[in-house]
Structure 1
Amino acid sequence: MRKPSRSQHPSSGSSTRPSPTPSKNFYNGSSTATLFSGGVANLASDSSFDLAANAETQGLKQYGNHKNIRLIYIITEVSYRLVARADAGIAQLSDRTAALSISSPHLSFSHNHSFPPDRQKPTPNAVPVRGKKKIGTISGTSAAVFIQRLLATAGISPDAYTTVSANVCMATPCAANTFPSLLAANIIDAFGVWEPSVELGIRAVGQDGVVVFQNGSLYREVYSLYTTTEKLADAQKRADIVAFVRALNQTRDVFTNPTPALYSFVADAIGMDEEVVKAVWSEHK
């Protein structure tokens, strides 16, 4: 059984998406489960793939032209975060009645966001900065949807800010063309994408130098497992798919109660630092 797995971008990933674990530890189907880098688009272009994991935005995009694609399992849900430099004049998301835009000389981002102790603290005395803000994200992905919806709560339209594309970073040191490095170098004012890049961005600037926004009620990534009607109609393939889903259920039980050994396993599997895996674990439900 061939299964491509990625979040949305060739270089992307996520610390707690349990794709390698079921195939290594719990899957007992009649065929070997082999993981490849890819996503739900592979199901549309290559019939040799049986399953694919991706965010729901990518599943919907592919379903538009490939009605045989089926979402069969939700692996995890993730509330994205936007990290902004405090010295960029971004202190809170303004509500619509404030009539401020992201290019305002006294920019104020605000909405009713919560800040867990010691992790996401707003900076009350951010320095106002003139000019259009540069917001990092990846066009065409769930992260871009999140950015658009989050800023829209403040009445900020896409033409009020400049979107900057870059690469994600999975572990330090982050390359110069990644979001955490661009934020640290003051090339962008903020960015929002999947973990662990946001966590690494916070650390690159320092917790006292950033403001973090998160609102899962606006948008959350629903990272899911997909297959096709053709695979489900094949009795042997369907049995193997059922076995893999059963293995995912067992994996979720393990991931609900993580241990140091599990953090280490995930870190090794996707090239992250174990301490960062632990830090972003709670962002994935």
Structure 2
Amino acid sequence: MSRLTQFLLLPNATALTIAAVSSIIEATPLVVTLQDHYEPNPYTYINSLPVVGSIPNVDLYAGSEVHVLDDAPAHPDLRILSTVVEFAYQIVADKRKGILQPSDLRGKRIGVVGNVTSEYFGYRFLREVVGLNSSEYTFVRNGALCYALPCGNGTYPAMLASGEVDALTVFEPTTTVGGMAIGDENAIYFRNDTLYRKLNVLYTTKDRLENATSRAEIVGFLRALGKTQEMFTKEPEKAWPRVANITATGSTVNVATEEVMRRFWPLTKWGRGLPADMADLMAEEDKWVAMRDPRGRTPMSRETIQGLVDDGPLREALALDAQA
């Protein structure tokens, strides 16, 4: 039986249950960790990111910070423990459309994945870097991801190549592949890591941290994850074939090639820890999340968001690593 099966529950054992979508690049370190560094421990791996509380036995979730912002108002007991990766967004635009600087994005059609971090970065960049309001550009949200050329009709890179969109900013490596689709001579990239970068985080609940058994398991997993993050950082060539294999499982997109990974890898930071500006980034983002929440709510304060962060387990993991 594959270890990447949904609900692999071992009887008479304490199982650490992890939920993440392994078809996205950001979650691949979790799968590698479970394969390489967590062998002695039984676990459950759920290849999806369920709404908090919908599956009661989940111990750890891994997803972008926007999922925490979505769930935290109803689940204030959530606690962010560490980053899995910080992932910078970039916009790729077609120079043949007269786009040579950010201000040239005025009036253009820009491909985004709607209502998530992709659209949020585009919204922030166009508003704060270019100075545009939403009536001065058009977001196109109906494309599909593609991780390697050739990309079929209806994918974001194909839409950029055909002129259906003038630029795009979507989940990597699709943006990178979009630039490859129009050729390096025609592609221009814009980014702003200070304004926003996607924080793929590992999070749990307060109750699980207060339980000695589950806390110990979580600290153990953080230690194991650190080994994978070190490999992803220092020996990326070893990570790339693993990433390609994991993201290909159950995915409808092309398998990312080594060339594609070499191109977008500088956008990633696989370090352990909690960024000093995490609460600031999330508080600003929550204004947008709350504005788009169909249930209607006010944004959470920075203090409330800071209260969702608990660095205790990571400090314990780092202390144990130092003693080893």
Shorter-chain TM range is 0.7 to 0.9
**Would the aligned equivalents of 2:26 and 2:85 in 1 still touch at CA under 8 Å?**
no
**Aligned residue-pair number:** 245
2:239 to 257, 262, 265: 262
Partners of 1:15 and 1:226 in 2: CA distance? 14
Partners of 1:197 and 1:64 in 2: CA distance? 31
1:22 and 2:6 correspond: no
One-letter identity of the residue aligned with 2:71: Q
Instruction: Please report how far the alpha carbon of residue 80 of structure 1 lies from its aligned counterpart in structure 2 after TM superposition.
Output: 0.5
Partners of 2:240 and 2:88 in 1: CA distance? 20
One-letter identity of the residue aligned with 1:270: T
Under a length normalisation based on structure 1, what TM-score does the superposition of the two structures give?
Answer: 0.79
1:284 and 2:268 correspond: yes
Partners of 1:49 and 1:257 in 2: CA distance? 31
Instruction: Please report how far the alpha carbon of residue 28 of structure 1 lies from its aligned counterpart in structure 2 after TM superposition.
Output: 4.9
2:136 to 160, 170, 176: 160
1:202 to 179, 185, 188: 179
RMSD of equivalent CA atoms: 2.1
Instruction: Give the SS at the match of 2:29.
Output: coil
Gaps of 5+ in 2: 1-15, 249-255, 270-324
Identify which range, 41-50 or 196-205, moves more after superposition: 41-50
Identify which range, 151-160 or 14-23, moves more after superposition: 14-23
Gaps of 5+ in 1: 95-99, 104-132
Partners of 1:212 and 1:74 in 2: CA distance? 26
Partners of 1:256 and 1:53 in 2: CA distance? 19
Instruction: Please report how far the alpha carbon of residue 258 of structure 1 lies from its aligned counterpart in structure 2 after TM superposition.
Output: 1.4
Runs of 4+ deviating beyond 3 Å: none
Paired residue for 2:47? 37
CA deviations 1:160-200 (Å, max 9, x no partner) are 11111122212333232221111111111111012100111
Instruction: Give the SS at the match of 1:43.
Output: coil
Structure showing the higher helix proportion among its residues: 2
Structure 1 residues 76 and 101, CA gap change in structure 2 (3 angstroms): closer
Identity %: 31
Identify which range, 181-190 or 169-178, moves more after superposition: 169-178
Structure 1 residues 16 and 101, CA gap change in structure 2 (3 angstroms): closer
1:178 and 2:151 correspond: no
Partners of 1:197 and 1:101 in 2: CA distance? 19
Partners of 2:77 and 2:47 in 1: CA distance? 22
Partners of 2:234 and 2:83 in 1: CA distance? 18
- Using CA pairs under 8 Å that are at least 6 residues apart, name the structure with larger relative contact order, 1 or 2: 1
**Would the aligned equivalents of 2:20 and 2:27 in 1 still touch at CA under 8 Å?**
no
CA deviations 1:199-253 (Å, max 9, x no partner) are 1101111111121111111111111111112322333222221111111111111
| Pairing of 1:51-62 with structure 2 (within 5 A) | 51-62=60-71
| Pairing of 1:185-264 with structure 2 (within 5 A) | 185-264=162-241
Paired residue for 1:75? 84
Instruction: Please report how far the alpha carbon of residue 146 of structure 1 lies from its aligned counterpart in structure 2 after TM superposition.
Output: 0.8
One-letter identity of the residue aligned with 2:17: R
Instruction: Give the SS at the match of 1:207.
Output: coil
Structure 1 residues 53 and 259, CA gap change in structure 2 (3 angstroms): closer
Under a length normalisation based on structure 2, what TM-score does the superposition of the two structures give?
Answer: 0.70
